[in-house]
């Protein structure tokens, strides 16, 4: 290899590393937003103020919430994902 090809390869590796950390940050942010949304929804559910909400709407919102909780549970059950999620330099 030449110095010039080494430099080009290093540039590619740098860009890929930056993309990997950008992706990790975006996934961490999405996971944190999922956690915050779940906490807010749980607080609303705990309030018990649903006697005037139509059953179909309540069921649809609950179905949506279950999907989000399932996604979060899947994230939490993958040890590799959790290692990357919890990683700090």
Rounded to two decimals, the pTM is 0.84
Q: Which residues contact 68 (CB under 8 A, 6 or more apart)?
A: 34, 37, 38
* Farthest-apart Cα atoms in the chain, separation: 74
Confidence of residue 10 (pLDDT cuts 50, 70, 90): very high
pLDDT at site 50: 82
pLDDT digits (tens, 9 = 90+) for 30-80: 999 999 999 999 999 999 888 899 999 999 999 999 999 999 999 999 999
pLDDT digits (tens, 9 = 90+) for 56-66: 999 999 999 99
């Amino acid at each position: 290899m030449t110095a010039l090809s080494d430099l080009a390869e290093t540039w590619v590796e740098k860009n890929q590393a930056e993309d990997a950390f950008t992706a990790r940050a975006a996934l961490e942010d999405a996971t944190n937003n999922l956690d915050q949304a779940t906490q807010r929804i749980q607080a609303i559910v705990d309030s018990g103020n649903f006697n005037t909400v139509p059953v179909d709407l309540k069921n649809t919102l609950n179905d949506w919430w279950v999907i989000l909780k399932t996604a979060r549970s899947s994230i939490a059950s993958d040890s590799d994902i959790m290692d990357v999620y919890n990683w700090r330099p």
